[in-house]
Structure 1
Amino acid sequence: MQIVILSVGKLKEKYWREAFAEYAKRLSGYVRVQAEEVADEPAPDNASVGEIEAILRAEADRLERHLKPRDGIVVLDRQGKMYSSEAWSQQFTKLESESYGRLVFVLGGSYGIHDTILRQAAVRWSFGPLTLPHQFARIVLLEQIYRGIRIARNEPYHK
C-alpha cells in the first residue's frame, strides 16, 4: 500500500524533517510513504470571509493537482471523527481493504481545507478539539498510522 502525506506548507525545521523521516523509516516495512507539499497562501490577519474563501480555493486547487481518481482520501479536519488508537487501527484496516490505488492523507493550511476536498474524503479524521501546529500534526499522523498498523498486526508497540 502506498501512503501519501499531502500537506499545505513545508516542513521547514530540520527536527520536523528528521521526525518525519524516522516514522517513514519505521513504516517502510509495512507501506510506502511519500510526502507531497503544496505552497500555502499568505494569510492576512483579520481576513474577511471572502479572503478566507479565496485562500482555501487556491490551496484546494494546488492539492487537487496531486489527487488521482482511485485515491482513498483521508482529510485531517477539526470537524471530523475522533478515533482511539484501536478504533483508528480498525478504520485503517478497512481502508486498506478497499480498492484504492493509494491512501492520501490531506492536511490543510491555517484556515483548514476547502469543501471541494472535504467532499472527496473517504474519512474525515480529527485529532480532537486542540489546535496543533501543522508540522507537529504531520508527525502525530505518521505515528498514529504506525501505531494502527502495529495494533492490527498484534505487534508490540502500543501500550
Structure 2
Amino acid sequence: MKITLICVGKIKEDFYRKAVSEYVKRLGRYCRPEIIEVADEKTPDHAGEALEELIKEKEAARILKFIKEDAYVFTLEIQGKNPDSVSFANQLNQLAVQGKSHIIFVIGGSLGLHESVSKAADQAISFSNMTFPHQLMRIILLEQIYRGYRIIKGEPYHK
C-alpha cells in the first residue's frame, strides 16, 4: 500500500521535521509512505474573503496536480467524519481488502481547502473540532496511520 500525504507548506521547525521523519521511518514496515509538499500562498493580515478564496484556489491547483484517479482520497477538514483510532484502522484495512493500493491524505494550508479539493476527495475526516497548525497536523495524521497499522496487525500500541 502506498500512503501519500499532500501538504500545503513546508515544515520549518526542526523538531517537527524530526517527528515526521520518525513516523515515516516507522511506517516503512507497513506501507510505502510519501510526503508531497506544495507551496503555500502568503496571506496578508486582514485579507478579504475574495483574496482568501483566490489563495485557496491557487493552493488547490497545486494539490490537484498530485491527486491520482485510482487513489482513495481523504481530506482533513473540520466538518469531516470524526473516527476513533480503531474505526480508522478498520477503514484502512477495508480499503486494502477492496484492492486500493494508494491512499492519499490532503492537509490544507492556514485557510483550509478550496471546495475543488473537497469535491475531489472520497471522504473528509476530522481529528478534532479544534484548529491545529498544519505542521502539527501532519505529525498527528502520521501517528494515527502508524497506530492504525499496529491495530490492524494486532501489535501492542493502541492502548
TM-score bracket for the superposition, by shorter chain length: over 0.9
| More off after superposition, 35-44 vs 97-106 | 97-106
1:78 match: 78
The Cα offsets for residues 43-76 of structure 1, whole Å up to 9 and x where unpaired, read as: 1222211111101100000111112211211111
Whichever residue aligns with residue 24 of structure 1, its letter is V
Distance in 1 (alpha carbons) for counterparts of 2:81 and 2:151: 19
What's the CA shift for 1:13?
A: 1.4
Distance in 2 (alpha carbons) for counterparts of 1:35 and 1:135: 12
Computed over aligned residues only, the root mean square deviation of the Cα atoms, in angstroms, reads 1.1
The Cα offsets for residues 76-128 of structure 1, whole Å up to 9 and x where unpaired, read as: 10110101111111121122234434111100011110111101111211011
Unaligned runs of at least 5 residues, structure 2: none
Query: Percent identity, aligned pairs only?
Result: 43
| More off after superposition, 97-106 vs 29-38 | 97-106
Total equivalences in the alignment: 159
Distance in 2 (alpha carbons) for counterparts of 1:114 and 1:96: 28
Whichever residue aligns with residue 134 of structure 2, its letter is H
Distance in 1 (alpha carbons) for counterparts of 2:96 and 2:52: 34
1:154 match: 154
TM-score normalised by length of structure 1: 0.95
- Give the conservation status (yes or no) of the 8 Å contact 2:110–2:133: no
2:116 match: 116
1:4 match: 4
Are 1:31 and 2:46 an aligned pair?
no
TM-score normalised by length of structure 2: 0.95
Instruction: Name the SS of the counterpart of 1:158 in structure 2.
Output: coil
Distance in 2 (alpha carbons) for counterparts of 1:63 and 1:45: 24
Distance in 2 (alpha carbons) for counterparts of 1:63 and 1:97: 27
Distance in 2 (alpha carbons) for counterparts of 1:154 and 1:29: 14
